[in-house]
Amino acid sequence: MQPTCCYRAALDLEAGFCDGCGKPLLRCAAFEECGGLLDERGACGVCVAPELTLDAGGVRDVKVGGALTLPLLLRNTASIGRPLFVKGLWTREAGGDWETADLPWDRLDAGETAPLSVRAQALDRAGEHQLEIGLALATRWRWREEVLAYTAGLAITVEGDEQLTVQQNITYAGDGQQTGTIYAPFRFQSEGGRRSTILDTKPKVLPLTRASRLERAFGLRGDTSLPTVPRNVRILWDGFVPGSTPSDGPIVTADGLLSLGRARARMAGGANDVRLLAQVHEGPIDQENSRSISRQHFSLCVENDRLVLRVESERGAWVNDHHVARGTSVALKDGDRFSPLPRGQGLLSVNVRFEENHGVADTVTLQRRPGTRPGA
Ligand SMILES: [Zn+2]
Ligand SMILES: [Zn+2]
């Protein structure tokens, strides 16, 4: 959770930084509905509030040596009416490979609970069987989607032929805090050779832990070949006409999005965050080529740990000299170049430079290249 001062400060949509603690206000894409701020790993705690429970009372007819189906309930506890979308469900045993489980549904409205189930394979020996459940959840806003993955751990202990115990592991981990496990077992007991009597039938909450490695391994966030772009990445504006960009720093707009195009910049009373004109440095504006730039030509945001450029102009745009159609999103990387104009009219392009530290982009420099005036 972000400090209370930041939530209060964020209500002023013009504010980019908290007047209490000075932190940048990293608003959720859906801020106008949820009023949420993102944590340092890009999650909005208002939009994404899942609760996974093991519906022990639903376990029936567990045969000796058989597979155990674990009935789960997923609840969307969001306090505002924001749906969650389930993108994936996986299980693995004893740190093995992840196996995909079926998803009978994909949307869960706020306040709703829906069933899922996963299978633990043949419990053919006595002893402890470690089971991990992986879950990918998404929150959507217009064309944007943030996907977050979580894991929950279970240990299923088979005690001879008599008893099957499902232990709930509550694991604390990370950030220099204490690490440990609490076991909260509940037991199934055999009845005529079938383990079918459940002693504790209350649903058990399975604590969900954010799973960055799962997010990367499954390509849900970031890209294994590119640095992770955190939501608070610093953007430096280089070579732009003064007053035509926001200040250097993270994206702190009301919807976490920057709008780039021919319309005036906000600082000059317009609708854009960044004004793009065909203009050599601060010299005269090339009116003819500037008219080929749409009022809003691009959107720029951080989505799923990537710096995403979306083409908004019906004329399309050029990324590394390839034409890109309207509505296309491109994950920018170090060395990329984008332009609202084709190369022959190359009076304006923007070069992208990443500075990374241990696989995380700290700073992205967007360098305006005005090019040269034809005939000059
Ligand atoms: Zn604050
Ligand atoms: Zn939100």
What whole-number distance in Å separates Cα of residue 156 and Cα of residue 136?
Answer: 23
User: How far is Cα 243 from Cα 236, in angstroms, rounded to an integer?
Assistant: 14
Task: Kindly report, residue by residue over 4-17, the tens digit of the pLDDT.
Answer: 999 999 999 999 99
Nearest ligand to the CA atom of 23: 1
| Distance of CA 8 from the midpoint of ligand 2 (Å) | 15
Task: Convert the pLDDT of each residue in 317-328 to its tens digit.
Answer: 999 989 999 999
User: What mean pLDDT is predicted for residues 72-90?
Assistant: 95
Residue 283 lies in a domain: yes
Cβ-based neighbours of 111, under 8 Å, separated by 6 or more: 76, 77, 78
Say yes or no: 172 and 66 in one domain.
Answer: yes
- Closest ligand to Cα 84: 2
In terms of domains, do 275 and 353 share one? yes
Q: Are residues 162 and 258 in the same domain?
A: no
Among the bound ligands, name the one nearest to the CA of residue 29.
2
Alpha-carbon distances, residue 167 vs 126, 157, 182, 204 (angstroms): 14, 7, 9, 10
CATH number at residue 195: 2.60.40.10
Looking at the domain assignment, is residue 44 inside a domain?
Answer: no
**Does residue 178 share a domain with residue 136?**
yes
Q: Tell me if 374 is assigned to some domain.
A: no
Q: Which range (76-85, 101-110, 298-307, 335-344) has the least confidence? A: 335-344
Residue 350 included in any domain: yes
Of 182-191, 284-293, 367-376, which range is least confident? 182-191
Give 47 Cα–ligand 2 centroid separation in angstroms. Answer: 4
Predicted local distance difference test score (pLDDT) of residue 111 = 95
- Name 360's bridge partners: 228, 357
Question: Same domain for 278 and 208?
Answer: no
54 in the same domain as 30? no
In a domain, 210, yes or no: yes
Q: Are 157 and 130 in contact (CB under 8 A)?
A: no
Query: Residue 305 and residue 266: Cα distance in Å, rounded?
Result: 26
Residue 241 is predicted with a pLDDT of 87
Q: What pLDDT does residue 196 have?
A: 39
- What is the pLDDT averaged over residues 31-56? 92
Co-location of 81 and 185 in the same domain:
yes
Ligand nearest to the CA of 34: 2
Distance 336 CA to ligand 2 centre (A): 30
Q: What span, in angstroms and rounded, lies between the C-alpha atoms of 81 and 47?
A: 9
42: in domain: no
Given the structure tokens 């490695």, which residue do they identify?
213
CA of 326 from ligand 1 middle (Å) equals 37
Q: 182, 217, 252 — which closes off a domain? A: 217
List the structure tokens of 209.
């832990």
Gap from CA of 22 to ligand 2 centroid (Å): 21
pTM score, two decimals? Answer: 0.85
23-40: average pLDDT: 95
CA distance 321 to 351: 12
Residues within 5 Å of ion ligand 1, judged at the Cβ atom: 3, 5-6, 18, 20-21
Say yes or no to pLDDT of 160 above 90. Answer: no
Q: Same domain, yes or no, for 327 and 180?
A: no
136 and 63 in one domain? yes
Together in a domain, 97 and 127? yes
Is 19 part of a structural domain of the chain?
Answer: yes
Name the closest ligand to CA 48: 2
Same domain for 54 and 15, yes or no, is no
Please, what is the Cα angle at 335 between 333 and 339, to 5 degrees?
90
Tally the domains of the chain.
Answer: 3
pLDDT tens, residue by residue, 173-199: 333 344 444 444 445 544 444 443 444
Domain range for 13 is 4-34
Rounded to the nearest integer, the mean pLDDT of the chain is 84
Strand order in the sheet with 337-339: 234-238, 360-369, 349-357, 337-339, 317-319, 322-324
- CATH number of the domain to which 257 belongs: 2.60.200.20
Ligand nearest to the CA of 141: 2
Do 58 and 181 share a domain, yes or no? yes
**Domain boundary residue among 162, 190, 217?**
217
Q: Is residue 203 assigned to a domain?
A: yes
